Amino acid sequence: MDAPVTTPIRVGIAGAGFAAASHLDALRRLENVQIAGLLASSPGRTQAAAERLGVPAAGSLDQLLDADVVHNCTPNDVHASITTAALDAGVHVLSEKPLGFDASEATTLARAAGEAGVVTGVCFNYRHFPLVQQMRSLLDQGGDGPIHLVHGAYLQDWLLRQDDWNWRLESARGGTSRATGDIGSHWIDLAQHVTGDAIASVTARLGTLFDERVQPPEGDRQTFAHGGADGTAVRVDTEDMAVVLFTTRRGVMGSVTISQVSAGWKNHLVLEVDAGESSFVWDQEQPNDLRIGRRDGANRDVVRDPTQLLPAAGRLAHFPAGHQEGWPDALRNLCIDFYGAVGAHRRGEAYEPTFASFEEGARVQATVEAVVRSSASGMWVDVDEIVGEVSA
């Protein structure tokens, strides 16, 4: 049973890495939220992270689940166990992506969430930039004509060197897809959210830059690590890059290039949507500008000015024009949205969220799995077929 509306919402954080620290930063900027505890993979890691981040340490998963909400910021291979425990305990869950280790696991979680009667969401935070919502609102109005092409990229360079290391390189922990599953999933969700259309079929090619990488010693495996002189050469069985062609349910053509080995690109997520009268371009590394292209008439740049944006976008802009907002602010917006839903749940009121549902998170994982299958077979793969398989 949820506590009275005036009682602070008690939050538990599962995980102790970059995602957990980012979630805590966002939560500290919300009202009526209290951090109840943090739980990492071991007592020592839990205590060290709790002291570093200035939050209470949870002694066990049961203690963590005494909270009202759990943020699941753990590695991919333990997402399902944490989320399942929270759902069984009647706790609201905001999960980092991927929702599960594979499409089947994600679908099981989505089904369980529907039966649990709690608020659940997946952390696709790029939805929550003001100008992303501006683009979505403009396209939804239909004044620019029907969409006929969706394209873009998500490029990074943090795994460019052979001795660059991260736990995601271990397929037993990260899953069968790395670049597509890790960052490509964000692009897939963003494209579907902005257009209101779903990717229906894909043909893809995956590539790996290094067959072997240098893994650092066990005690030196941080989020962003390097193998070093004491490292061990290990085989790599997940992709560094991907090129994907797709069609949507409405018959729109599209493409995306995904890479974690593109020098000079730190977090270059760019989404371009072409409609009959206008084209739209949004780049996460320049998030306060939205380019709108016109054939007849001048192109224009829409800036993040809350007084000039449509309502769905304007409410996500917290500072005046010229006061730039970025990635941490989008995560804050996601949390505001999620806790708006939790508050409505407490009051027994309806709520229309913009954050990704577990069902949408499972669909993204089915699309990632379709990419992997297509690369292996050289054929087009239907996403709905995979959804049907894992739902049976």
**Interval 105-133: pLDDT, tens:** 999 999 999 999 999 999 999 999 999 99
Give the percent of the chain with pLDDT over 90.
Answer: 89
Mean pLDDT, the chain, rounded, equals 94
- pLDDT category of residue 221 using cuts at 50, 70 and 90: very low
- pLDDT category of residue 1 using cuts at 50, 70 and 90: very low
Distance CA 316, CA 134 (A): 10
Distance CA 318, CA 129 (A): 11
**Which amino acid belongs to residue 250?**
R
4 pLDDT more than 90: no
| Mean pLDDT of all residues in 82-99 | 97
Q: Residue-wise over 108-127: b if at least 16 C-beta within 10 A, else e?
A: bbbebbeebebbbbbbbbbb
Distance CA 256, CA 241 (A): 11
| Mean pLDDT of all residues in 81-85 | 97
**Interval 276-323: pLDDT, tens:** 999 999 999 999 999 999 999 999 999 999 999 999 999 999 999 999
Which pTM value belongs to this model? Answer: 0.95
Pairing between strand 232-235 and 212-215? antiparallel
Q: Which of 387, 388, 344 is nearest to 364 (CA)?
A: 387
pLDDT at 193: 98
How far apart are the two ends of the chain, measured CA to CA in Å? 32
From the CB of residue 81, how many other CB atoms can be counted at a distance below 10 Å?
15
pLDDT at 229: 66
Q: Is the Cβ–Cβ distance between 302 and 131 less than 8 Å?
A: yes
